[in-house]
């Protein structure tokens, strides 16, 4: 699809309109402004892709700016984690910025606003201020301190800054309109006293600016042209513009805030509070648990940056509420991994298969292609012998025509090996199959070019040689929630929808070549799915996470 024919979204339309109306492409500048108070999740990933994607589209810079105005909640470790996540997605920011770098400028502007009669110090309790604020349907009333003199305001504000007052004794408010329909315009708070050390400015500041006062001015300082945020900030736009009005100079860029609907993914939660609850309740092992839709969790699960970017691009952007089906995400994951992952053979639920007419001590090294999608990935050797493991579900003593796998009297191909015929099986007292017997056709070796090897058989099984098999731990992950939208039920807590079977740990039998895999590497276990090496792996034991299964039309047929 060429750019000229590609449909634009409303965000791009806004930019295009501005360019048409005289804004120069050279001044375009965007930003991604996270608060460093938690880990980024799939929703943030979409926002990152949106802003950095615009930077790529217009070949213009994008800043990473930490909105760090609340030392009570923010920590340096989140700053580091967020940078890692953005880099992992493959984006490079132009400037690394912090709202805290603008504290002095913000303070100076606030002083000027006091002098201009646009801001005042209020000395009431939080409760009093709240009660005067009114409700969405009733106007507020003016604070008794609203008309303090400029001198008194200046002195008090200076005192706040110098730490002469405790928290909540005084605050600085903008003087706007207590009767506004927009509650955010009812003399919003600009500064409060916070007696906590800030992760960057330490104890230099006793007062901290609020979001509304900080955000637009930060955009202005960085000369951001377009400041995109989620819909919940739509009512803030009026205030964003009012604050900008107090400081903009006509020869500078005036940033424009526009809002889009945040993109939700089914079967997940993304609020930091809920994510934290999952961690604290021990439902998951941590913020980077592979079941979490945090970026760190997705990374550990084996998601690729491209799969996330492609997903974000494909779901588009709009202004209506939405819940994107997890299938979309998994489609892009499989689509990417199919191209990138090598194939290996690993038996998840092993049962012994004895090839009764194969020489007892013989071992053959068979050639196996690493990828059917990409021949340049080459071949590896896989040992073949008389005793193998195959998947328990791949054998039935008897089955109907639709069962393409191994059954008594019928032929099936062992991937990269021979064609075998089912002969019977051994069982324990309980009737469980303990050993399957089959015979092989010595002329049917894969790649030998013989007529027998070219024979068409319907089923192909993966396998590993029992004597050469490497036991590995495999963590089978499923969706964390049993319903598409766990947190929209007003009656029920989202924790009630946690999937009790979201993790199953098994020991699987891997082909020897898998011993060389490195932490983080993803491979396809042929016929089973994509799996990546977890950091919990040691020299003695590999641990795999199931990233995602393959599509399985047989499972649907069989059920």
In the complex with RNA, the residue whose CB is nearer, 208 or 477, is 208
Residues numbered 182-221 forming contacts with RNA, rule: CB under 7 A: 182-184, 189, 192-194, 208, 210-212, 214-215
Least spacing, CB of residue 554 vs RNA, in Å: 4
Residues 466-505 that bind RNA (CB under 7 A): none
Q: Closer to RNA at the Cβ: 105 or 182?
A: 182
Binding mask 65-104 for RNA (x = CB under 7 A): --x-xx-xx-------------------------------
How far apart are CB 529 and RNA at their closest, in Å?
Answer: 9
Q: Which of 29, 405, 410, 546 binds RNA (CB under 7 A)?
A: 405
Structure tokens at 496: 């009630």
Closest approach of Cβ 192 to RNA, in Å?
3
Give the integer Cα–Cα distance in Å for 109 and 126: 24
Q: Collect all residues with Cβ–Cβ distance below 8 Å to 133 and sequence separation of at least 6.
A: 140, 178, 183, 186
One character per residue 21-40, x = contact with RNA (rule: CB under 7 A): --------------x-----
Least gap, CB of 104 to RNA (angstroms): 17
Binding map of RNA across residues 384-403, x = CB under 7 A, - = no contact: ------------------xx
Active-site residue, selected from the candidate residues 60, 133, 272, 392: 272
User: What is the C-alpha to C-alpha distance for residues 507 and 496, in angstroms, rounded to an integer?
Assistant: 30
Give the nearer residue to RNA in terms of CB position, either 105 or 322.
Answer: 322
Q: Give which of 129, 232, 233, 138 is closest to 188, Cα–Cα.
A: 129
Q: Any catalytic annotation for residue 35?
A: yes
- Would you count residue 7 as binding RNA (CB under 7 A)? yes
* Residue from 413, 421, 475, 546 in contact with RNA (CB under 7 A): 413
Phi, psi of 382 (to 5 degrees): -125, 125
Question: Which run of H or E residues covers position 189?
Answer: strand 189-193
At CA 209, angle to CA 196 and CA 55, rounded to 5?
A: 110
Report d(CA 384, CA 365) in Å as an integer: 6
Query: For residues 412 and 417, what is the distance between their CA atoms, to the nearest angstrom?
Result: 11
Phi, psi of 126 (to 5 degrees): -55, -40
- Check if the beta carbon of residue 444 is closer than 8 Å to that of residue 418: yes
Within positions 310 to 349, which residues make up the interface with RNA, using CB under 7 A? 314-325, 327-328, 331, 334-335, 338, 343
Give me the catalytic one of 262, 274, 396, 415. 262
Q: Residues 18, 75, 167, 435: which binds RNA (CB under 7 A)?
A: 167
CA trace torsion 317, 320, 325, 327 (10° rounding): -20
* Residue of 22, 136, 431, 500 interacting with RNA (CB under 7 A): 136
- Alpha-carbon gap, residue 350 to 398, rounded angstroms: 19
Residue 244 CB contacts under 8 Å (≥ 6 apart), including other chains = 216, 217, 220, 254, 255
Which of the stretches 48-56, 179-187, 346-354, 532-540 binds RNA when contact is defined by CB under 7 A?
A: 179-187
Identify the residue among 270, 294, 307, 526 touching RNA (CB under 7 A): 526
Instruction: Kindly state whether residue 43 participates in binding RNA, applying the rule CB under 7 A.
Output: no
Burial of 378 (0-12, 13-18, 19+ CB in 10 A): exposed
Of 286 and 447, which has the nearer Cβ to RNA?
447
Active site residues: 35, 262, 272
């Amino acid at each position: 699809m060429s750019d000229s024919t590609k449909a634009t979204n409303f965000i791009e339309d806004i930019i295009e309109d501005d360019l048409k109306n005289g804004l120069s492409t050279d001044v375009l500048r965007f930003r991604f402004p996270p608060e460093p108070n938690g880990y980024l999740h799939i929703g943030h990933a979409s926002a990152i892709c949106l802003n950095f994607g615009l930077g790529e589209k217009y070949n213009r810079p994008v800043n990473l700016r930490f909105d760090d105005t609340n030392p009570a909640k923010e920590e340096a470790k989140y700053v580091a984690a967020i940078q890692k996540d953005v880099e992992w997605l493959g984006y490079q920011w132009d400037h690394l910025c912090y709202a805290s770098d603008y504290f002095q400028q913000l303070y100076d502007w606030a002083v000027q606003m006091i002098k201009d009669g646009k801001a005042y110090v209020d000395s009431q309790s939080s409760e009093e201020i709240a009660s005067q604020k009114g409700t969405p349907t009733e106007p507020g009333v003016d604070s008794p301190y609203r008309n303090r003199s400029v001198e008194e305001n200046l002195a008090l504000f200076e005192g706040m800054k110098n730490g002469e007052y405790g928290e909540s004794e005084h605050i600085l408010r903008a003087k706007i309109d207590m009767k506004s329909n927009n509650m955010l315009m009812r003399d919003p708070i600009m500064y409060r006293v916070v007696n906590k050390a800030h992760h960057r400015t330490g104890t230099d500041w006793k007062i901290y600016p609020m979001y509304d006062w900080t955000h637009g001015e930060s955009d202005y300082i960085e000369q951001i042209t377009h400041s995109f945020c989620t819909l919940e900030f739509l009512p803030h736009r009026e205030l964003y513009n009012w604050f900008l009005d107090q400081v903009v100079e006509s020869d500078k860029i005036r940033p424009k805030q526009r809002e889009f609907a945040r993109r939700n993914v089914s079967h997940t939660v993304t609020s930091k509070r809920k994510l934290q609850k999952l961690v604290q309740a021990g439902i998951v092992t941590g913020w980077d648990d592979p079941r979490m839709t945090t970026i760190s969790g997705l990374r550990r699960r084996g998601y690729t940056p491209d799969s996330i970017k492609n997903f974000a691009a494909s779901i588009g952007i709009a202004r209506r509420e939405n819940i994107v089906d997890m299938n979309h995400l998994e489609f892009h994951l499989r689509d990417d991994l199919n191209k990138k992952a090598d194939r290996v053979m690993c038996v998840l639920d092993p049962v012994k298969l004895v090839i009764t007419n194969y020489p007892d001590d013989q071992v053959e090294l068979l050639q196996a292609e690493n990828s059917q999608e990409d021949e340049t990935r080459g071949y590896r050797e896989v040992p073949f012998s008389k005793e193998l493991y195959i998947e328990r579900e791949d054998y039935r003593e008897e089955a109907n025509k639709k069962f393409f796998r191994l059954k008594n009297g019928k032929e099936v191909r062992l991937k990269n090996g021979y064609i075998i015929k089912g002969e019977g099986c051994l069982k324990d007292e309980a009737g469980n199959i303990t050993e399957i017997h089959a015979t092989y056709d010595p002329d049917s070796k894969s790649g030998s070019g013989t007529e027998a090897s070219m024979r068409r058989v319907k089923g192909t099984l993966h396998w590993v040689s029992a004597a050469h098999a490497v036991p590995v731990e495999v963590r089978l992950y499923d969706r964390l929630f049993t319903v598409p939208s766990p947190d929209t039920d007003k009656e029920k807590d989202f924790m009630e929808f946690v999937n009790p079977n979201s993790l199953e740990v098994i020991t699987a039998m891997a082909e020897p070549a898998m011993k060389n895999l490195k932490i983080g590497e993803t491979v396809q276990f042929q016929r089973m799915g994509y799996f990546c090496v977890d950091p919990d792996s040691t020299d003695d034991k590999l641990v795999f996470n199931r990233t995602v299964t393959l599509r399985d039309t047989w499972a649907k047929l069989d059920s």
